[in-house]
């Protein structure tokens, strides 16, 4: 896919991350182009989620550099990441369980609420207008994700598949440039997976959002991604188009558990 | 039979026989209650934002009041001492976040609770070191707070002007906070933080900013409480025990609810005054000091999450 700038939206260079003596990521480098659907795959414990955590600033790597929108950084800060357009979902749904669907998605608008505290406190004038605009944006997302029926339901009571959808909605409300999805289809039935695939592709298509996702379902990954990177034991095994990955012997070995001689 | 009459019937006859006196009792309870509400609100804010029960809330009341009075004693006029005290409370909030909360992030709640006990003893020591341990008079007059009293019904109903001012200021503070925490960005962010730290971070809420903010607001609340309570008695370290009166309020209102803190405070305040006045003599008086806890205990049996607390639903 041809990028607008012909450059990477986000690239990581020689990232290494360790917790005490455990090396979670070893010298990882890759780049994500604008408007791409980029998949990170690999067996359990390969460091996929750690990689996402590094990108959105939850983890701070000991070595390496992250370049996002042309700015070089040693590490991301989670607040900066959010403000500059990196949104994410979590492997184990992390919603605000006590709040309704609507309020959950509304939290995605926090970074877009600019009015000063005084107006906010008395909730008049500009603050009110701003809230209306935010509400409208949130309603659009609710329509887009087809979750009108559950807007007032506390999310703790929703089934898992819908919770994942609400979480996607919250991330979308941030109007992200880069959307990180950590196993968006895990634990879903086929129908829910198809819906989720459709939403991911539509987001990519309609909003032009760049997407980086972790997924275990290979048929999904091969169907929707433009580019795939494979991690195993914190190391990068391969990078390429789905077709290249499918034919890559190292990747096949890693997934089948074959030990290569040396 | 006679005992039942004295417990269940006589007090109500007493109330009806002298409605003005009854009104007076309610007023006294209201004034105490609204101050309880304020203290409870300080707890609720910090509990919501950082999931920690702030043991230091009581001593913060004393520390704020002591700072104000201490500055004034050293020749600084009240209108300068007040802003300086507010700055000191901000510095305290900032330091607590930097030195206590941030290093202990992601630790179990009990560790954070212990840390606030540490803060308590630090503030006791630090306060005594700077301002000395003996009780001080609140600078009521210099702060332009009214004194004297207003009477109604041929001097039958007496309202202290300081009480009127106290409830007025407290009510304003409560209304402001309720609005502030309801619909605003900070309000939503605070609810988000209260619910899930990591998810809140991912939508761009800065935990550190929220923590400093809630500790600062709690500090301001402590200052208001300290001034008002100090004006009614005096400013001493013993004042910090009124914070424990916030416990039954919190049980009644729920640890996470702003409205709960307000309503709970009023119920406890008015309840204990009426109890003391009309039922206290039956058991030799002084039931005011424990009645609040009794009310809370009975309440706990029926609504463990409090009046307005979020219902604890967990799927198993």
Q: How far is B195 from chain A (nearest CA, A)?
A: 5
* Residues in Cβ contact with B97 at an 8 Å cutoff, skipping those fewer than 6 apart: B208, B211, B212, B215
A121 touches chain B (CB under 8 A): yes
pLDDT category at A1 given cuts 50, 70, 90 is very low
A156 touches chain B (CB under 8 A): yes
Rg (CA), chain A: 19
A124 touches chain B (CB under 8 A): no
**Contact: A95, B199; criterion CB under 8 Å:** yes
pLDDT tens, position by position, A53-85: 999 998 999 999 999 988 888 988 888 899 999
Q: Spell out which residues of chain B touch residue A127, defining contact as CB-CB under 8 Å.
A: 184
- Can you tell me the ipTM of this complex? 0.82
pLDDT tens, position by position, A12-45: 999 999 988 888 999 999 999 999 999 999 888 8
Q: Give me the pLDDT at residue A5, please.
A: 45
Domains in chain A: boundaries: 1-85+176-262, 96-170
Buried b (16+ CB within 10 A) or exposed e, B178-214: eebbeebbbbbbbbbbbbbbebbbbbbbbbeebbbbb
Please give the interface size between A and B, counted as residue pairs whose CB atoms are below 8 Å apart: 89
**What are the per-10-residue average pLDDT scores of chain B (316 residues)?**
78 81 90 89 85 88 92 88 94 93 83 92 91 82 78 79 87 81 77 84 87 91 90 82 83 81 90 86 77 84 73 53
**Contact: A99, B315; criterion CB under 8 Å:** no
Considering the entire predicted model, what is its pTM?
Answer: 0.80
The listed CATH number (3.20.20.80, 3.30.930.10, 3.40.50.300, 2.60.40.1120) that belongs to domain A1-85+176-262: 3.40.50.300
Q: What residues does B24 pair with on adjacent strands? A: none
Mutation for B interface: A54, A57, A95, A96, most B CBs within 10 A: A96
Q: Spell out which residues of chain A touch residue B201, defining contact as CB-CB under 8 Å.
A: 58, 78-79, 82
Q: Give me the pLDDT at residue A3, please.
A: 45
According to DSSP, residue B310 is labeled: P
Facing B195 at nearest CB: one of A78, A88, A97: A97
Mutation for B interface: A54, A57, A60, A78, most B CBs within 10 A: A78
Q: Spell out which residues of chain B touch residue A174, defining contact as CB-CB under 8 Å.
A: 203-204
B105 touches chain A (CB under 8 A): no
Q: Domain B33-302 is of which CATH architecture? A: Orthogonal Bundle (1.10)
A96 touches chain B (CB under 8 A): yes
Q: Are B59 and B196 in contact (CB under 8 A)?
A: no
B178 touches chain A (CB under 8 A): no
């Amino acid at each position: 896919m041809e990028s607008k700038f012909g450059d990477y939206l986000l690239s990581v260079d020689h990232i290494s991350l360790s917790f005490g003596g455990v090396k979670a990521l070893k010298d990882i480098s890759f780049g994500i182009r604008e408007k791409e659907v980029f998949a990170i795959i690999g067996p359990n414990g390969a460091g996929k989620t750690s990689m996402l955590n590094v990108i959105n600033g939850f983890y701070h790597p000991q070595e390496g550099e992250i370049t996002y929108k042309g700015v070089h950084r040693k590490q991301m800060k989670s607040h900066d990441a959010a403000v500059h357009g990196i949104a994410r979902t979590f492997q184990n749904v992390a919603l605000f369980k006590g709040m309704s669907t609507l309020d959950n998605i509304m939290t995605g608008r926090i970074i877009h609420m600019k009015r000063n505290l005084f107006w906010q406190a008395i909730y008049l004038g500009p603050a009110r207008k701003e809230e209306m605009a935010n509400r409208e944006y949130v309603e659009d997302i609710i329509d887009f994700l087809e979750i009108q029926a559950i807007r007032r339901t506390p999310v703790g009571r929703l089934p898992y598949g819908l919770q994942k959808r609400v979480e996607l909605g919250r991330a979308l409300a941030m109007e992200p440039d880069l959307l990180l999805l950590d196993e968006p289809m895990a634990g879903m039935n086929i129908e829910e997976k198809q819906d989720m695939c459709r939403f991911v592709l539509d987001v990519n298509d309609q909003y032009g959002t760049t997407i980086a996702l972790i997924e275990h379902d290979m048929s999904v990954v091969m169907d929707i991604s433009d580019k795939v990177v494979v991690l195993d034991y914190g190391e990068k095994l391969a990078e390429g188009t789905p077709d290249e990955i499918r034919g890559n012997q190292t990747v096949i070995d890693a997934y089948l558990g074959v030990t290569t001689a040396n | 039979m006679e005992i039942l009459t004295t417990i269940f019937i006589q007090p109500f006859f007493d109330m009806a026989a002298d409605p003005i006196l009854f009104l007076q009792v309610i007023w006294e309870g209201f004034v105490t209650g609204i101050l309880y509400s304020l203290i409870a609100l300080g707890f609720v804010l910090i509990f919501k934002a950082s999931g920690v029960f702030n043991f230091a809330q009581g001593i913060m009341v004393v520390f704020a009041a002591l700072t104000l009075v201490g500055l004034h004693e050293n020749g600084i006029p009240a209108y300068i001492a007040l802003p300086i005290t507010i700055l000191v409370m901000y510095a305290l909030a900032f330091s607590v976040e930097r030195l206590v909360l941030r290093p202990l992030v992601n630790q179990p709640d009990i560790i954070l609770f212990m840390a606030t006990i540490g803060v308590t003893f630090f503030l006791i020591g630090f306060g005594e070191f700077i301002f000395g341990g003996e009780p001080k008079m609140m600078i009521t007059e210099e702060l332009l707070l009214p004194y004297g009293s207003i009477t109604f019904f041929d001097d039958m109903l007496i309202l202290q002007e300081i009480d009127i001012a106290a409830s007025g200021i407290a009510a304003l503070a409560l209304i402001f906070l309720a609005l502030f925490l309801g619909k605003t960005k900070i309000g939503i962010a605070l609810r988000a933080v209260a619910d899930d730290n990591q998810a809140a971070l991912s939508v761009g809420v800065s935990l550190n900013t929220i923590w400093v903010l809630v500790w600062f607001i709690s500090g301001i609340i402590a200052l208001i409480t300290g001034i008002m309570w100090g004006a009614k008695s005096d400013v001493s370290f013993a004042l910090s025990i009124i914070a424990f009166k916030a416990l039954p309020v919190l049980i009644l209102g729920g640890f996470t609810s702003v409205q709960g803190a307000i309503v709970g405070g009023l119920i406890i305040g008015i309840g204990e005054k009426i109890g003391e006045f009309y039922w206290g003599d039956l058991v030799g008086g002084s039931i005011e000091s424990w009645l609040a806890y009794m009310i809370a205990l009975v309440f706990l049996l029926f609504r463990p999450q409090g009046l307005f607390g979020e219902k604890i639903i967990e799927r198993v």
